[in-house]
Structure 1
Amino acid sequence: MAHWTDGLVREVTGDVRAELGTSVARVFERCYADTLGSTLTELPDGTVFMLTGDIPAMWLRDSTAQLAPYLHVAARHRGVADLLAAVSRRQIDYIAVDPYANAFNSAPNGHGHHADLTEMSPWVWERKYEIDSLCFPVQLAYDLWTATGRTDHLGEPFRSAARTIIGLWRTEQDHENRSRYRLQRLDGPASDTLTREGRGPETALTGMTWAGFRPSDDACTYGYNVPGNIFAIVALGYIAQLADEVLDDAVLAADARSLGDELEAGVARYGTVVHPEFGEIYAYEVDGLGNAVLLDDANMPSLLSLPYIGWCAPDDPIYSATRSFVFSEHNPTFTVGTAARGLSSPHTPPRHIWPIALAVEGLTTDDAAEKERLLQTLLATDAGTSLMHESFHADDPSTFTRAWFSWANAMFCELVLDIAGLRTVERQRAVRSTRP
């Protein structure tokens, strides 16, 4: 793909340099070129397999997020639009293989976690079921359509995938009685496996849809991940719109809207708590039995990311209160160090801040000074590599995890483009109200 990607990188980097200067442009150029030059493999069927970085597998979540900064030029660059469509078609094909899987191989070679006790396919690298793994492919397909008007990736396979997604989410509304999904990993930490012989912690009906794992690939403490359910509501809105305007499928549109309404009612009734200091805020996870996890994980979708994924405006009252909680001592993942302050994750070592979360923090505020502060923090914590990492120590950025993590590079680019005024794809706000 180098016949057009090199020119694209020079063009967009030049635009960034003109707005923000050479030092920002230098790091931007390396991060922007990383995905195009290092992660893509065209398969014999014309689809594109996309590495997440230093793991030889394609995550449905990561592959969408990695492409976010390229959406903004897709309307004027056919090569970019073709790439997005090719990745989208590969994602849809993977959903047909196994909608419960989160990561896939480039061929049916049996690589990955095949010692897990679950129903594995040789195409599947890992079968940790996460709601967002189905949301992100819908988001990519929808964003490509809104950015370019293109519809060739929205044929029968997409229609079938949309029906599969709706059916799975309905099944997992009653995980206890209707789901056959199980996963046990016998050779890893507790966060890599589900309790109760692979079923996960007990839940009661809430109207929300269940997940086994968080976007970090760690097991959920409770079965209803609130930001995941919110993202599902947004994705169902996209499916309904595409069903109406592209697929001419009134039944699919009605099914998507109906399920979206059920999930939204579930979030409204069970997904918020009243905090003594901040008032009504979103919980991170609940079980429908009266238990809730109050934190925010650094990975996305997070509570912090809700405006970025299209749920609400930054000044939405519940979101604003939740954001205040997230950046307080009450949130166990909020970390303050001598080099930076931001969100950490149980997925990485203690006191390790995630650049993805720093970028999302900047992308969900209207405060220009805060955006600039976060940009400078990212530039100052790259350990001299001109690349972003999965996480870095809050007191010593030279201590970091994952030297090559394409998603973090992409989110840095998203923030740079936002500050430079070069982000052209803005997601519609899906939420009407989170109260019944």
Structure 2
Amino acid sequence: MAPAPIKPTVRAPCPDYQTYAAKYHAPGSGGPRNLPFQRPPEYCRRFNSSVIENVIQDTTSKMKDPDLAQLFRNAFPNTLDTTVHNGCVNNTCDGLPKSFVITGDIPAMWIRDSTSQVNPYLPFAMQDLSLKNLILGVIYMQAQFLNIDPYANAFKMPTSQTDDGMNIAKRDVTDTIVPLQVWEEKYEIDSLANFLRLSHSYWNTTGDSSFTQSPTWMSAVEKVIETIHQQQEPTYNEADRPTKAFYKFVKESTSPEETQYLDGRGNPTARTGMVRSLFRPSDDATIFPFFIPGNAMMSVELHHLSELLNATNGNQTLSSIASTLSDEIRQAIYDYGVIDHNQYGKVLAYEVDGYGGHLVMDDANVPSLLSLPYLGFMDQNDPLYQNTRKLVLSRSNPYYFQGTRGAGVGGPHVGIGAIWPMSLITKIMTSSDDEEISSSLAIILNTTDSTGLIHESFDAWDQGVYTRPWFSWANGFFAEAILKIARERPHLIF
């Protein structure tokens, strides 16, 4: 009798992860919160790395809190599992790797987010060639996008060569035509800085400088420098006439954070040496265009760019320009960004205009004032940072919220009372206090609202109220914090 034919395995369709992430999936963690297992089925995962799987297994096997272990198990691979796409489409690759990494529930690639999404994997890149190429592909993808439009913050998949309506509500009205590949053209200084950050971090970690010989990458670097010079220009020239506005953003909206002042050019600024930014890393409009955290990050990354070019590219002219700009911006931050606060003494303002106008606040998104040591701008024991930190983590910061579910920084992007876990993670990344780190971890654990993932925000008072079940940057940043604790303070989690 002939053997029965083998039936092919029937697999269920891969789920829409935004919907999937908002529901409970077994097996639970077995801890007091019994957090769910939120990774998609193996055959649905966008990128697989045995090295990362080993890190997950090794780390979670030593963790004393099963809920914290489950949260790390879900969060660390979230970018790889759910957001990675091949950017090599329509003959756009030119022999180079191209990785298109969506932010999560929005099918677009942010320059800023994509850097932070792959950053936790950099320490393991030399153990996994495919992972290394994935990160290199993000650098090339970012460079390709910046060559299209250095003032854009987010881009569509390269297959999208037509105005498909996906970003109609996010388009601006300027004096120039926005390229069709652009998802959103909000100019944010940290987008440019994050491109430089990933380039330097990748080289510093792997020793691979091949991308510095690429005309695509070099052209993008030159566009970054050109944009910086343009946005250092003051609003008025020596004859008190308006200077050229290289960038404008105007949009019809019921939210003032979605458009800019003065027909899109932003509020006036004097020449200081700092660089204007019309939007923050939250994608909200700045009030005073010299955004201090973004300028601090840019100063650090221009110094890194100079170091990278000196060591690998031989372009001494561009290296010298980057070094000079780095020093100029840093000095301007101390000249114009430091203010006297009646309670905390000398602190850094969040935004200034060079005329004396300044904004006292901080936002949860990175770069932030709270994140300055994490970004490498200043030591966390610096008295100026400590004064600023005390202000940020107090009711003197209008976006510091404290409720029954915890305390942390939010921002105008979501609204009053919405605490962002990202601020708690930043607090961990810039702290040397065991109690502060442990209490921040506890708040994060208690506010996933049984989803087992890090959200954009959670309500300070009401359980079950949060925004964005699928937000890859926040998950990666959390995992980065856990790995830092594992290296430096293992007694807190192991």
* TM-score (normalizing by structure 2): 0.83
- Structure 1 residue 370: Cα displacement: 1.8
CA deviation vs aligned residue, 1:30-84 (integer Å, no higher than 9, x gap)? 1122110110111222301111011111000000111121112112222221110
Matched residue type, 1:168: T
- Give yes or no for contact 1:391–1:400 (8 Å, CA) kept in 2: yes
1:96-122 per-position Cα deviation (integer Å, ceiling 9, x unaligned): 000000000112333414642023100
In structure 2, the residue matched to 1:162 is 221
Structure 1 CA distance, aligned partners of 2:484 and 2:62?
11
More off after superposition, 356-365 vs 22-31: 22-31
* Secondary structure of residue in 2 paired with 1:421: helix
In structure 2, the partner of 1:127 is: 185
Separation of aligned partners in 1, 2:129 and 2:488: 18
Q: Give the structure with higher Rg (CA).
A: 2
Which of 93, 112, 116 in structure 1 is aligned with 2:167? 112
Structure 1 residue corresponding to 2:57, chosen from 3, 10, 14: 14
Pairwise CA distance, 1:10: 2.5
Q: 2:79 aligns with which of 35, 41, 44?
A: 35
Whether contact under 8 Å (1:382, 1:397) holds in the other structure is no
Partner of 1:196: 262
1:62 maps to which of 113, 133, 138: 113
Would you say 1:102 and 2:153 are equivalent positions? yes
Cα contact 2:60–2:73 (8 A) shared by 1: no
Q: Distance in 1 between matches of 2:263 and 2:427?
A: 37
Alignment length, in residue pairs? 423
d(CA) in 2 for partners of 1:135, 1:4? 26
2:338 paired with 1:277: no
Q: Which residue of 1 aligns with 2:9?
A: none
User: Helix, strand or coil: the match of 1:99?
Assistant: coil
3-state SS in 1 of match to 2:280: coil
Once the two structures are overlaid, the 10-residue window that deviates more, 141-150 or 12-21, is 12-21
Is 2:275 the partner of 1:209? yes
Change in CA separation of 1:130 and 1:3 when aligned onto 2, cut-off 3 Å: closer
Deviation string 1:259-315 (CA, Å, 9 cap, x unpaired) is 112111211110110112111110000011111000001111000000111111210
Matched, 1:384 2:450: yes
Q: Residue 115 and residue 28 in structure 1: after superposition, are their counterparts in 2 closer, same or farther (change >3 A)?
A: closer
Question: Within 1, Cα distance between the matches of 2:258 and 2:74?
Answer: 33
For residues 151-171 of structure 1, give each alpha carbon's deviation from its aligned partner in whole angstroms, at most 9, with x where no partner exists: 122223222222211111111
Gaps of 5+ in 2: 1-43, 236-242, 490-494
The answer to whether the 8 Å contact 1:71/1:147 transfers is yes
1:90 — aligned with what? Answer: 141
Q: Is the 8 A contact 1:375 1:416 kept in 2?
A: no
Residues 129-165 of structure 1: per-residue CA shift (max 9 Å, x gap): 0100100011111111111111122223222222211
Pairwise CA RMSD: 1.7
Q: Verify the 8 A CA contact 2:277 2:289 in the aligned structure 1.
A: yes
- What's the CA shift string for 1:352-409, capped at 9, x where partnerless? 1001111011001112232222122111110001101100001124100111111111
Q: Give the alignment of 1:341-360 within 5 angstroms.
A: 341-360=407-426
- Are the aligned partners of 2:105 and 2:470 in contact in 1 as well (CA < 8 Å)? yes
Mapping of residues 246-325 of structure 1, within 5 Å: 246-325=312-391
Q: Which residue number in structure 2 is paired with residue 5 of structure 1?
A: 48
SS at match of 2:76: helix
Percent of aligned positions that are identical: 36
2:196 counterpart letter in structure 1:
V
Question: What is the letter of the counterpart of residue 53 of structure 2?
Answer: R
Amino acid at match of 2:80: L
Give the counterpart of 1:145 among 172, 193, 203.
Answer: 203
User: Quick one: distance in 1 between partners of 2:470 and 2:210?
Assistant: 32
Q: Does structure 2 retain, via aligned residues, the 8 Å contact 1:50–1:58?
A: yes
Gaps of 5+ in 1: 424-436
Partner of 2:103: 52
Asked if 1:23 is matched to 2:75, the reply is no
Partners of 1:382 and 1:283 lie apart in 2 by 31
Give the Cα separation in 2 of the matches to 1:207 and 1:397: 46
- For normalisation by structure 1, the TM-score amounts to 0.93
Q: Distance in 1 between matches of 2:193 and 2:219?
A: 15
* Structure 1: distance between partners of 2:404 and 2:294: 32
Task: Work out the CA distance in 2 between the residues paired with 1:178 and 1:271.
Answer: 25
